[in-house]
Each structure stands twice: as structure tokens, then as C-alpha cells.
Amino acid sequence: MAAMKIPSVLSRGFIVISKLNVEERNKLIEVIKNSKIGASHLDFETEIIKEIGLDAKDSKNAVGVLFSFIGLKEELFESSNVSIIDLINGIKEIEGLTLNNGFEVFIENLIESTNSKSLIASKKARRLILDRSNIFNAVEIFTDIRPVFGGDDNLEIDAISLLYNLNISFSKASNLDEEAISNLTIAMDGEDLIKLKEIIERAEQKAKVIQDKFYDNIPVVRS
């Protein structure tokens, strides 16, 4: 058994990249080398689909492997007794892997290419973004119509109340584990919606001012 076990969540990605031919592997390396600071998973997935022709699912799995390699040389190999050989031996134990003579060199090239300054900076920036609690996940607004009936035996609807429920889904933990996701529902009326819209527009204006001021000189990494 290898000294290093590959997490099951990455196994499919290794299987995908093991099936690439020499030309496709070279294109993958070029995609990594040409990436800019702040490149996201989606950016890489789009480029891989475009340059290599993988489908969306395989591209997503391959990108999972690439991001797991970012800073690996700096964080693991240089700070522990684990070596690239240990990693490769662990990869070879993945069931369904396509092995050939150039596979080990390919993995070494992937690790080297993902050790670039721009990718490590991106990874550190995202770590700062996620190093918080109560991270926003999704939001929905449900419209609630409540009839107002007349008094006594009058069953006529005299009026209606138009209300809203703002449902916010968020993760309590920084790892965005599905089990850590919680929901908060806030009761609102029409005036509250207007206030919320104004606050969001104000935040967007501030973000634009900051980007106009710094974007040309300092890359902005988004979550």
C-alpha cells in the first residue's frame, strides 16, 4: 500500500487526466501556465473544454485535481517527509487509472506548473475569502399573500397583505461542507425590499470605485 492515499473526491479527476494523449496533456500544461491571478475553477473548466474538448463533468473533475496541486510542492513536499514518488504511487492505486510510460513525468510537470506564483497567490487569496464563518450560499424571496376578511360572519375579502420572506442559505464552516449549510428566513414588506435594493446598489457602487482605483495595478481575486 502506498504511503499517501488519494482522497476519493479526486480519484475521478486523476482517471480523466490519465486518459489524455500527449497533445492534450501539453495543452493542459499550457492552460495552467497561461492562467492569471484570480483564475477560478470555472475559468479553468471553460478553457479546458475549449482547448482539450473534455465535457463539462470531466473538465470539472480535472480542475479539482489541478487546484489540489496548487502550492503542493511548497506546502507538502518541502515541509514533510512526503515525496512526489509517494504521491505518484498513491495515484497509481486508483482503480480505473490509465497508466503509460509518460504518466509519471506528466504528473511531475503538472505539479511544477501549478507551483507558479500566480496560482499560489490565487489560492492564498481564496483561502482568505473562505476563512470566515456564515459564508453566503444562496438567496430566495418568497411572496406571501394573506387575505383580510371582514368582521363577524362576513367572509368577503376586504383587503390583502402583500409580504415577503427573504430566505438566506449560508455555510457556518469555511469548508462549505453541505452538512454545515444553514438557512435563515427574514420577514419583510415592500419598503424593506426597497431598502435592501438601495443598500445592494450602494455596495456595488463602492466596489466599482475600489476596482477603478486599484484594478489596473493589483489583481482582484473574487470568491
Of the segments 24-33, 95-104, 213-222, which one has the largest average pLDDT value?
24-33
Across the range 164-185, mean pLDDT stands at: 78
Higher-pLDDT residue of 192 and 217 is 192
Of the segments 36-45, 58-67, 164-173, which one has the largest average pLDDT value?
58-67
Beta bridge partners of 182: 170
Q: What does the mean pLDDT of the chain come to?
A: 84
Higher-pLDDT residue of 94 and 214 is 94
Q: Is 7 helix (H, G, I), strand (E, B) or coil?
A: coil
Across the range 107-128, mean pLDDT stands at: 84
Please tell me the predicted confidence (pLDDT) of residue 212: 79
Please tell me the predicted confidence (pLDDT) of residue 179: 57
Please tell me the predicted confidence (pLDDT) of residue 193: 93
Q: Is 161 helix (H, G, I), strand (E, B) or coil?
A: strand
pLDDT over 90, % of the chain: 38
Give the amino acid at 50: K
**pLDDT tens-place string over residues 193-213:** 999 999 999 999 998 888 777
Across the range 37-45, mean pLDDT stands at: 85
Set of cell numbers at residue 168:
438566506
Check if the beta carbon of residue 135 is closer than 8 Å to that of residue 170. yes
Rounded CA-CA distance 117/74 in Å is: 11
Rounded CA-CA distance 79/21 in Å is: 33
Rounded CA-CA distance 191/22 in Å is: 61
Give the chain's largest Cα–Cα span: 87
pLDDT at 89 over 60: yes
Q: Looking at the chain, how many residues does it have?
A: 223
Check if the beta carbon of residue 146 is closer than 8 Å to that of residue 122. no
**pLDDT tens-place string over residues 151-162:** 777 788 888 989
Please tell me the predicted confidence (pLDDT) of residue 135: 82
Tell me the CA distances in angstroms from 53 to 30, 47, 137, 194, one per residue in order: 14, 9, 30, 45
Confidence category of residue 141, pLDDT binned at 50, 70, 90:
very high
Radius of gyration from C-alpha coordinates of the chain? 25
Please give the DSSP secondary-structure letter assigned to residue 176.
-
Set of cell numbers at residue 116:
507558479
Whether the model pTM is above 0.85: no
Which residues have a Cβ under 8 Å from the Cβ of 221 and sit 6 or more positions away?
37, 38, 121, 122, 125, 126, 129
Across the range 104-115, mean pLDDT stands at: 89
Confidence category of residue 40, pLDDT binned at 50, 70, 90:
confident
Give the amino acid at 93: E
Which residues have a Cβ under 8 Å from the Cβ of 70 and sit 6 or more positions away?
114, 115, 119, 120, 122, 123
Please tell me the predicted confidence (pLDDT) of residue 221: 64
pLDDT over 70, % of the chain: 87
Please tell me the predicted confidence (pLDDT) of residue 6: 85
